[in-house]
Amino acid sequence: MGPGARPGCHRRRLKLSGILLTVLGIVLFALGLMFSIAFHEAGHFWWARKFGMRVPQFMVGFGPTIFSRRRGETEYGIKAVPLGGYIRIVGMIPPAEENESKRATRMRSFIAEVRGQALDDVLPSDRDRVFYKKPWWQRVIVMFAGPFHNLVLAVVFFTIFLTAFGLPEITTTVSRVNDCVLPAGAATANAKDPCSIPITPQGQRCEEGAVDCALPVRSPAAQAGLRAGDTILAIDGDPVSQEPTTGWDEVQDAIRVSAGEPLVLTVERDGQERELTVTPTENLAYLDPEDSEKTGVVGFVGISPADRQVPRTFGEVPGELGSIVVTSVQRLAEIPERIPQLFRATFLGEERDPMGPIGVVGVSRISGDVFAYEQFSAGEKIGYFISLLAGMNMVLFLFNLLPIYPLDGGHVAGALYEKARSTVARLRGRPDPGPFDIARLMPVAYAVAGLFLTLSLLLLVADVVNPVRFG
């Protein structure tokens, strides 16, 4: 630091730099989200126009219109809230069937009102340009094209990430040495100095001097002199594999079954080998890093492994993409059972489950955290950002294909049902029943939209008051 420089100014500059990088990450993710939405809608739009459907609107976002311009018969625009988008295709809902009951009920009145609003867009000149008059296979392509565009983006982004940056693989190098022993789920785990706070054997805060209440004991790793940066080469003379993940599994397995038994670790430090003796202690630990409920009493020394990015070859990409799809489907299927925990984390102060659902605001904050993370290089930040965009597009693809109206998958299911119904009628020698009347599903659509809106609001509040943070 030069003459006259003030440490306070330096700290303020660092803080300002961190804030600017956080904002940059959030803004870039918002732009990536808007691009993904626009590309999704472009899939619907391009095929609808190709099959001769009239599309009067192409909008990215919801709410008040910020910008719009009409070209030909279509108005293109951007709206204030970048959390979705839509194109308006004329004739999405067919006219009422001739044999439809005319008896007035609240539900029939509601369906008739929705049908009337949809048919108001149909002009005399539209004739066969309306959606419901097109063949079933054209309607399937139009509605599937939007999610398919998200799949294309997901594959492109994941391929770039996997081949240029790679997946993190656990190594046998120590990234952190715990100063003390804390049981899994300890209430003091996130405290500034958890080793100075008395706890019970179960990890609850208590008053020092009370029964079963004491300061956490020093970790065996700290006592043995292990340091961050040490690479474990052997245990009791037996070499440890240096293959990513495999080697750390060997280290972890040896420690977990050796509570109370001394282990001689051969480590490499600063280019030299040395031997350190460590005696694992019994402790309640997480048995599965992806399952916070799965714990057990095992041998524990208090070290964490370092990660290393390992790029994949193009030949390995399809297999990795398959695993990503399976994992994404599992995460979507788990959302209903994880909602109660999300509610407790939002309103009752419970710790947020990092494997639970995260909203757009939450992912944007993670993007901001990544860009502000000082220990990441510029390349690592870009790689993580690309992986966020890839994951978001994969979720958009899978979510929109759910066979629930008003999602794209609901329209696809309706067209397929119409084809199946027509085929059965033809085989039975009966007349074609005609277009599937999707207006009858409008009550279901409103109920589903209400559930999605409720979940979105819950995620918004959770991402603000109790966010999942990077790291």
Percent of the chain with pLDDT over 90: 39
pLDDT band at 324, cuts 50/70/90? very high
Pairing assessment for the beta strands 238-239 and 263-269 based on DSSP bridges: unpaired
169 tagged catalytic: no
Amino acid letter, residue 49: R
Instruction: Name the burial class of residue 163, with classes exposed (0-12), middle (13-18) and buried (19+) by CB atoms within 10 angstroms of its CB.
Output: middle
Assigned superfamily of 168-310: PDZ domain (2.30.42.10)
Pairing assessment for the beta strands 295-300 and 303-310 based on DSSP bridges: unpaired
Q: Would you list the domain boundaries of the chain? A: 168-310
- The mean pLDDT value for 275-291 works out to 79
pLDDT band at 148, cuts 50/70/90? very high
- The mean pLDDT value for 258-264 works out to 91
Q: Bridge partners of 266?
A: 234, 275
| Max Cα-Cα span within the chain | 96
Amino acid letter, residue 345: A
Q: Which of 41, 113, 169, 351 is catalytic?
A: 41
In Å, how far are 59, 94, 132, 245, 266 from 119, measured between CA atoms?
20, 8, 11, 60, 77
pLDDT band at 164, cuts 50/70/90? very high
Query: Of 227-236, 263-272, 427-436, which range is least confident?
Result: 427-436
**pTM: predicted TM-score of the whole model, two decimal places:** 0.79
Please determine, for residue 284, whether its predicted confidence score (pLDDT) is greater than 80: no
pLDDT of residue 41: 95
**Angle, to 10 degrees, between the axis of helix 378-400 and the axis of helix 7-50?**
40
> What backbone phi and psi angles, to 5 degrees, belong to 67?
-150, 140
Higher per-residue confidence, 379 vs 36: 36
- The mean pLDDT value for 185-207 works out to 85
Higher per-residue confidence, 92 vs 226: 226
Distance CA 416, CA 409 (A): 10
Q: What mean pLDDT is reported for the chain?
A: 86
- The mean pLDDT value for 73-82 works out to 89
Please determine, for residue 99, whether its predicted confidence score (pLDDT) is greater than 60: no
pLDDT of residue 54: 93
Higher per-residue confidence, 49 vs 466: 49
- The mean pLDDT value for 387-409 works out to 92
pLDDT of residue 140: 95
- The mean pLDDT value for 418-423 works out to 90
Q: What torsion do the CA atoms of 264, 269, 274, 275 make, to the nearest 10 degrees?
A: -10
pLDDT band at 107, cuts 50/70/90? low
pLDDT band at 1, cuts 50/70/90? very low
- The mean pLDDT value for 119-132 works out to 83
